[in-house]
Amino acid sequence: MSDDRRLAVLRAIVEDYVSSHEPVGSKALVERHQLGVSPATIRNDMAVLEDEGYITQPHTSAGRIPTDKGYRLFVDRLANVKPMTPAEKRAIETFLHGADDLDDVVDRTVRLLASLTRQAAVVQYPSLSRASVRHVELVGVGGRSALLVLITDSGRVEQRVLDVRSAVDVETLGVSLAALRTRVNASVAGKRLREARDALTDLVQQTPPADIAIAAEVAASLGDCLTASLEERVVIAGTSNLVKSGADLSLSLGSVLEALEEHVVLLRLVQELAEEDLGERGGLSVRIGAENLHLGLDGTSVVTTGYGGEAVLARLGVLGPTRMDYPTTMAAVRAVSRYVSRILAS
C-alpha cells in the first residue's frame, strides 16, 4: 500500500486503539486527528484498508482495529523510534548504576525493562559459546578449604568452595594452591571455555607428582565451573504485566505463560531474532502476532535488540500483546541496551 493518506489513517487507528483499547471509528478519527479530508473520504480509506487486510471489524457496527499485518506496516513505516526523555534516561542510568557483577546487571536490567514497558521482559545471559577465560583465582579460605573463582571475558563469574581432602596440611595447601593458580592461568587464560575445559587434562598430567592429587581436585571443580558457564540462560520479569493486559491476551494467556516457563522456547526465539536481518531500526527486531511461530506466542509481539557493543553478547527485550505502544517500547528496549552495553564495557 503506497497511498500516504491511507497510511496516515492506519497510523491514527493504531495510535487510538493502543491508547483507548476500543475499536476506532471514522468519527473519532475526524475529531482526534488533522487528516485534512472529509469523513466520507476517511470511511473510504478505512474500507480499502480493511479489504487489504490491515484493519478489521471485530463486531458488527463497531469501529476497526489493526490486524497483525496492519501493525507490521505501522512498525515498518515508523520514521523514527520515539526518543526517551531526559528524565527517562536519567532514571535508566540511576537504576543500572552500581551493578557490581553480571548477575546484578542482568537482574536490574530485566526488572527495569518490565517496569518501563509494562510488558514481560526477557534478558539473555551473554552467549558463552564465544566467551573466553579471563582469570582463575584460587585461594585458601581456612583449614583444607579453598575458593575457586572463574571469571570470563563477558563478566560471568562462577565460584566453588573446595574441600581439598588430598592436602597434607594447611601450610602445604597454601603453597600448592599458589603454584597451581599460576599454572592454571597459564594453561586456560585467554582460551574459549570449551578449549579451557579440554586443557585441564594436560594441566593435571604436567603437574609435579607432589601436587597432582590437589591439581586433580581443582581441575574437576574448575571443569564443573566451565560446564556451568556454557549453559545458555534467560531471565524473565514482569509476567504479571501480561495478566493486567486484560482482553488482549485473555484467550491465550495460559499458553503464553506456559511458553515463558519453557526457557528453551525463549532461547530459541532470541537466537532466531539474532539471525534475522535487522533492517534500519538501529538493531531492533520486532515480531508481531502470527510471525511468532512458537506455540503459545502467536498472539503476542516481541521487541528485542542485542547488547554488548559491536560484538553483540546477547539479546534483551520485551514480550506483550500485539496492541502495544511500539514506538515507546522500541525506544525503551534500545535505550536500556545501550546503557547495559556501556556498563559491560567499563
Helix (H) or strand (E) holding 87: helix 86-96
**pLDDT (tens digit per residue) in 176-219:** 888 889 989 999 999 888 888 888 888 888 888 877 888 888 88
At 199 the pLDDT is 87
DSSP, collapsed to helix, strand or coil, labels residue 315 as strand
The most confident of the ranges 110-124, 193-207, 300-314 is 110-124
Give the residue from 110, 12, 3, 107 showing the smallest Cα distance to 64. 12
Question: Where a domain ends, among 230, 249, 276?
Answer: 230
pTM summary value: 0.74
Residue 48 lies in a domain: yes
Residue 11 confidence class, pLDDT cut points 50, 70, 90: very high
**Bridge-based pairing state of the strands 285-288 and 314-321:** unpaired
Question: Where a domain ends, among 198, 230, 262?
Answer: 230
pLDDT at 2 over 60: no
Whole-number Å distance between alpha carbons of 11 and 78: 9
Specify whether 180 is located in the same domain as 241: no
Q: Cell 491508547 belongs to which residue?
A: 19
Q: What is the CATH number of the domain that holds 100?
A: 3.30.450.40
Structural domain boundaries, residue 119: 86-127+232-345
Q: Length of the chain, please?
A: 346
Domain count, the chain: 3
Specify whether 64 is located in the same domain as 141: no
Are 10 and 49 in contact, with CB atoms under 8 Å apart? Answer: yes
The stretch 314-342 carries a mean pLDDT of: 92
Residue 52 confidence class, pLDDT cut points 50, 70, 90: very high
At 158 the pLDDT is 83
Q: Which three cell numbers stand for residue 307?
A: 547488547
Contacts of 169 (CB under 8 A, 6+ apart): none
pLDDT at 229 over 70: no
Helix (H) or strand (E) holding 137: strand 133-142
Whole-number Å distance between alpha carbons of 184 and 138: 9
Are 304 and 317 in contact, with CB atoms under 8 Å apart? Answer: yes
Specify whether 251 is located in the same domain as 113: yes
Mean model confidence pLDDT for the chain: 84
pLDDT at 335 over 90: yes
